[in-house]
A and B are shown apart, each in its own frame.
Chain A
Amino acid sequence: MNTGQLLLIVGAMALLSTGILMMNNSFTESGKVVMQSKLGITATSLASSIMEQATSHAFDKFTADSNTTSLSDLTAPNSLGLEAGESYPDSLDDVDDFNNMVLTRSYDKGGSFNIHFKVTYVLPTSPDVVQNVRTWHKKLTVSVTSPQMTDTVRSEYIYSYWYFR
């Protein structure tokens, strides 16, 4: 075997190795996409479930037991969150108790998720702008992250107060 033939063999092997590596990389990426979308589905189900649970509570601490027509009865914007003596999940009574709460959930079918809550006052005309005054509308933002996920699943819900007179 002369040097020319040896070089040809080395070149062929290099080409083949590159091709196999590229293909392997493609399979890995494809597997990652499948896994990400699977985790995304679970995270979405988690976000909507938690959202549903959160909105099963009263609009405000004050309205849990009575009605109001005055904004001043509602919780101040800088006091949104757990009141003294409250803890998740048993003693929550209103939706803003979830403000700044962080929960962790794990599924036996894979994936551990961190759920972050944010509750703010908003106006229907500008739901993306946080209001520093009390309004009849609270926006609940649920963000689900996971060490295995590259993206955050974020879900928003505007909870308004109303009652029948």
Chain B
Amino acid sequence: MGNSTILDILGSIILGGYLLLMIFRLNGTVSETVFTSGSELTVQENLTTLVGLLEYDLRKIGYCADPYNIPDPSKSILTASDHSIEYLTDLNRDGSVDTVDYYTGLASSLTSTPNPRDMILYRVVNHRQVMGYDMGITKFDFMYFNAQGDSLNFPITTPSAIYLVRLSVMVESSHAYDSSYSYAYWRQIRLAARNLKNR
């Protein structure tokens, strides 16, 4: 075997190793891209589904097909805290008053997913029908403002003072790639008892 052949073999080994490294790296990148794209899509779909539900429900705070059943819509928020709200509305537009309660469970209670921050969102209608939504919610924070635009301090002892409700929602993926979770964020400001405001 001559010097030239040895050089050829050495060169081939170096080039081949380099190519192998590139392929391994590419394989890792493909896996990461596929995983994160899928996670982002799921997270964004979950968020838009959740926001659709919340938009539909929260915009009807204080609404009733028979207005005499909620004579003072400003008193339609019964309880309000930083992670929950309970209010009066008419879900089916049948003139009967319904009570809707949104609150979140503890992050530690949702052990079926690796994400340590996600929690279940509960929606309770008329204190009976409990629905739990496991959509990767990691933030479900309310802030309340009075008619002057000042934020109300917790605990809120006079819910009728609430004029604006600000809800911040963050949804994260249940599984991480390289310790990084995909997320999507929504912040919504809503009028409490919209029917009172038209003038």
Q: Is B48 part of the binding interface, using a Cβ–Cβ cutoff of 8 Å?
A: yes
Please state if B199 and A30 are interface contacts (CB–CB under 8 Å). no
Please state if B188 and A34 are interface contacts (CB–CB under 8 Å). no
Interface positions of A from 3 to 46, Cβ below 8 Å from B:
9, 16, 20, 23, 27, 30-31, 34, 37-38, 41-42, 45-46
Q: Which of B91-99, B127-135, B178-186 contacts A (4 or more CB under 8 A)?
A: B178-186
Interface residues of A (CB under 8 A from B): 1, 9, 16, 20, 23, 27, 30-31, 34, 37-38, 41-42, 45-46, 48-50, 52-53, 55-56, 58-59, 63-64, 89-90, 107, 109, 162-163
Q: Is B44 part of the binding interface, using a Cβ–Cβ cutoff of 8 Å?
A: yes
Please state if A27 and B44 are interface contacts (CB–CB under 8 Å). no
- If A16-B19, A27-B29, A34-B40 touch, whether A109 touches B191 (CB-CB below 8 Å) is no
Min CB gap A90→B, angstroms: 7
Chain B residues near A56 (CB, 8 Å)?
A: 163-164, 191, 197
CA distance A23 to B48 in the complex (A): 30
Please state if B184 and A23 are interface contacts (CB–CB under 8 Å). no
Q: Is B13 part of the binding interface, using a Cβ–Cβ cutoff of 8 Å?
A: no
24 contacts between A and B (CB under 8 A): A9-B15, A23-B26, A27-B33, A30-B37, A34-B40, A37-B40, A38-B40, A42-B186, A42-B187, A45-B51, A45-B187, A49-B166, A50-B189, A52-B189, A52-B191, A53-B189, A55-B191, A56-B164, A56-B191, A59-B199, A63-B199, A89-B149, A107-B185, A163-B198
Min CB gap B12→A, angstroms: 9
CA distance A23 to B27 in the complex (A): 11
Partner of A42 from B26, B30, B33, B185 at Cβ < 8 Å: B185
Interface residues of B (CB under 8 A from A): 4, 8, 15, 19, 22, 26, 29-30, 33, 36-37, 40-41, 44, 47-48, 51, 55, 149, 163-164, 166, 170, 183-191, 197-199
Known: A30-B33, A45-B51, A48-B55. 13 other contacts (CB 8 A): A1-B4, A38-B40, A41-B48, A42-B185, A46-B187, A48-B188, A49-B166, A50-B189, A53-B189, A55-B191, A63-B199, A90-B149, A163-B199
Of A27, A37, A45, A162, most B-chain CB atoms within 10 Å = A45
Whose C-beta in chain B lies nearest to the C-beta of A63? B199
Please state if B33 and A45 are interface contacts (CB–CB under 8 Å). no
Whose C-beta in chain B lies nearest to the C-beta of A41? B184
Chain B residues near A162 (CB, 8 Å)?
A: 198
CA distance A49 to B36 in the complex (A): 29
CA distance A41 to B184 in the complex (A): 8
Chain A residues near B190 (CB, 8 Å)?
A: 52
